[in-house]
Structures are given as C-alpha cells and as structure tokens.
Amino acid sequence: MLIPVDLGSRSYTIAVECGALAMVGDHLRPLGLGGKAVLVSDAAIRRLYGTRVAESLTTAGFSVTELDVPEGEPAKSLAVAERCWDALLSAGIDRTSTVLALGGGAVGDLAGFVAATYMRGVNFVQLPTTVLAQVDASIGGKTAIDHPRAKNLIGSFHQPRLVVVDPATIGSLPEREYRSGLAEMVKHGCVLDAGYFDDMERSAAALLGRDLGHVERLIAGSCRLKARVVEQDERDAELRNVLNYGHTIGHALEAASEYQRWTHGEAVALGIVAEARLAHRLGEATADTVARQRALLEALGLPTRIEGVDPAVVLAAIKRDKKARDGRIPFVLAPEIGRFRLVTDVKDDDVLAALGA
Ligand code: GLY
C-alpha cells in the first residue's frame, strides 16, 4: 500500500507492506538520488534486518556504508551525533547522498537529526521497525536529540524522502514493546477517526495475536491518519497538537517516574484514560466515550490505572512540558470518539481530579 504525504516540494510516499524491507532499493531508486547511502542502525536491529536492507540497496546500485549507534534513547545524544557526522565525512557523503534510519523511534530521531544538520541537510529515509515508529515517529519530519535536562529539546523539522514500513518486523518485538505501539494507534482512532476506532475494537484480539493481515491494514490506516494531520500542519503550529492526545499527561507520568516505570506507550495509554476523564469532568464527553477508550486499551493489554504516583508531582511535570504557552497547558480532548477539541484553560483542580479519580 502506498500512502502519499502531500507537502509540495517536500512530498513523499509511505510504503506499507509485509516484506518491504527487502525492497527498499526498489523504492529508493526512482527518486533519482546520488549513489551513496548510509544505513544507521543499532547492533540488534542490524543483525535482524541489516543484511536484507543493505543487499536491496546494493542491488539497486547504491554503495552502502553501515553505521552502528547505541540502542534506544542513549543514541539521542550530541556525542553520538558527532560520531555520525565524522562517519559521514569519512564515507564521502555529500548533499546528493542518503541517510537511512533502520530501527525504532530513537534511531529515526537521531539519524534524522544528523541528516538534517550535516551539510545543512541531506536526503533521509525512514525504515521503522517498531509499531510506535511505524505509525507515528517516522512520519512528519520531527528529528531530535535529547538535552541532559529534557528529551527531544534539540532538533529540527526535516522530512524524509521516503518511509518504508514492513509490518512483518513486529514478529521480533518483545510483547511489552509491541503493545506499547498499539497505544499510538488507539490515540489516532480516539481523536481522528471513529471508523478506525471501531475497526480496532473489532480487531483487538487479532491485533493481540499479531495477525499480520489485521496488523498491516491497521498500521496502514494509522499511517494515513497521521499523514493527513502532517499535511495540514507540517510545522506543528496548531492542528498537529491533536497528536498529543494522551501525551500531556503521558509525558508527565513518564517524567514523574523518571522514565523507569512505564514504556512511552503505556504512559500514553494512562494519559488517554486520564484525559478522557478530564473531558468528562469538563462536560465535554459522555461516560460512555470514556469507557470505550478504557475498554479498548484494556483489550489490547495496556495499563489503564494510574497508581503509585503523586498527582501533585505529575501536575508539576505537566507544567514543565515544552508545549506550555505562557504558563498555560494545551490539552487535547475527545468530546466523541473520532473528534477533538484543543483547550488551554484547564484548571489545576480538574487535572488533579482526572489523575486521581
Ligand atoms: N508525534 C507527534 C508528531 O509527530 O507531531
């Protein structure tokens, strides 16, 4: 399935298909880019998928340099970015060349940042191998490294030239990581598309069982929803905030627990439940709308009860969110499944009640 992302001169295609990692070269060649490619990955992902991607690039006529970075969030540091710039220079990478990120969201964020900054920007391709990266992080051109005091603080928008999503890679994901990615798909349904949410409800058992037919259809659906938002608000001016549903409280839960207790997706699941409750408390959503969101997350094996954190600590973390504007925190609410409303005037007591209810 080919999903266009229409951004004028920065347009690109998301190719979603089981087995697509063996066809990266075929997708890349028609773009008419230079002959040098750098494949950025971590050692574990490279062992699983590196050979098939490198071979497909070589067969398509590219010369490939492979570059390993640390696994997970430690990849997103200035020191690692500097090592990558050095490696690109040594490999003779120029503005016609392409940096490809093979792996989860962290590899994509780092490699995108390196591609955005080296020589003021070289071609970039996303090859996401986690559900979270496939339906969210790889689409839309957000790139970043972490600052010691805040995640994703240093970065830029740099759209990829191509995204290749191979849903068969979910076969190698640990159960907890797989389920965590499903939370971002639920998010898309909650605020963007009631029909998609219904489909997820009907397919929950198949998703949990990793039935590839259902997984491919729903991952593609989620990519399409994200693409439509990015097309309308490439630079995160307003509408793109809708993708923050469940994240205002989710990010704060992660920060308040020092990123130890929940995965990002688990924190987003808890954030969705709390923000759904907030909408109900503010008279925006019915109890049934809240219950459906909680039930779907539970059916997908995600946590829905916020326990063991002090709501006041979470509220303090919300106030430090980099999306805060003049001290006011923007929240996305879902008045009905598939619809959203952005609000900025939520009172502390209502947030505390949603967290503690
Ligand atoms: N992950 C949220 C966004 O891409 O805007």
pLDDT tens digits along 249-259: 999 999 998 88
Residue 140 CA to ligand 1 center (angstroms) comes to: 7
- Of 123, 155, 172, the position where a domain reaches its end is 172
What phi and psi values does residue 169 have, to the nearest 5 degrees? -65, -15
Q: Let me know if residue 266 belongs to a domain.
A: yes
Q: Let me know if residue 225 belongs to a domain.
A: no
pLDDT band at residue 357 using 50, 70 and 90 as cut-offs: low
Q: Which domain holds residue 269?
A: 176-210+233-356
Mutating to test ligand 1, I would choose from 136, 151, 187, 242 the residue with most ligand atoms within 8 A of its C-beta, which is: 136
Do 197 and 156 share a structural domain?
Answer: no
> Cβ(142) to ligand 1 under 6 A?
yes
Do 18 and 78 share a structural domain?
Answer: yes
Query: Which tens digit of pLDDT belongs to each residue from 26-78?
Result: 999 999 999 999 999 999 999 999 999 999 999 999 999 999 999 999 999 99
What's the CATH code of the domain at 243?
1.20.1090.10
> Cβ(323) to ligand 1 under 6 A?
no
Do 158 and 295 share a structural domain?
Answer: no
Residue 241 CA to ligand 1 center (angstroms) comes to: 8
Q: Which of 247, 30, 213, 228 is nearest to 140 (CA)?
A: 228
Do 153 and 269 share a structural domain?
Answer: no
Do 27 and 139 share a structural domain?
Answer: yes
Do 253 and 147 share a structural domain?
Answer: no
CB 205 within 8 A of CB 300: no
pLDDT of residue 31: 97
- Of 172, 196, 224, the position where a domain reaches its end is 172
> Measured between alpha carbons, how far is 106 from 181 in angstroms, rounded to an integer?
14
The helix (H) or strand (E) run that includes residue 5 is strand 2-5
Do 168 and 137 share a structural domain?
Answer: yes
- Of 121, 142, 172, the position where a domain reaches its end is 172
pLDDT of residue 150: 85
What phi and psi values does residue 121 have, to the nearest 5 degrees? 120, 115
Q: Would you say residue 321 has pLDDT above 90?
A: no
What's the CATH code of the domain at 109?
3.40.50.1970
Q: Let me know if residue 37 belongs to a domain.
A: yes
Query: Which tens digit of pLDDT belongs to each residue from 120-179?
Result: 999 999 999 999 999 999 999 999 999 988 889 999 999 999 999 999 999 999 999 999
Give the C-alpha distances (Å, rounded to integers) separating 64 from 59, 91, 123, 202. 11, 9, 14, 43
C-alpha dihedral sign at 75, 238, 278, 205 = negative
Do 118 and 18 share a structural domain?
Answer: yes
Calculate ∠ Cα 122-37-236, nearest 5°. 35
CB 273 within 8 A of CB 257: no
Q: Which of 30-39, 67-76, 235-244, 319-328 has the lowest mean pLDDT?
A: 319-328
pLDDT of residue 165: 98
Do 78 and 37 share a structural domain?
Answer: yes
Q: Would you say residue 323 has pLDDT above 80?
A: no
Q: Let me know if residue 221 belongs to a domain.
A: no
Do 193 and 120 share a structural domain?
Answer: no
What is the pLDDT averaged over residues 315-319? 90
> Cβ(247) to ligand 1 under 6 A?
no
Q: What is the identity of the amino acid at 45?
A: I
Do 239 and 202 share a structural domain?
Answer: yes
Rounded mean pLDDT of the chain?
96
- Whose tokens are 């097309």? That residue is 231
Q: Let me know if residue 58 belongs to a domain.
A: yes
pLDDT band at residue 92 using 50, 70 and 90 as cut-offs: very high
Total domains in the chain come to: 2
> Measured between alpha carbons, how far is 330 from 30 in angstroms, rounded to an integer?
42
What is the pLDDT averaged over residues 188-197? 98
**Parallel, antiparallel, or unpaired for β 36-41 and 63-68?**
parallel
Residue 201 CA to ligand 1 center (angstroms) comes to: 23
Do 167 and 202 share a structural domain?
Answer: no
Q: Let me know if residue 226 belongs to a domain.
A: no
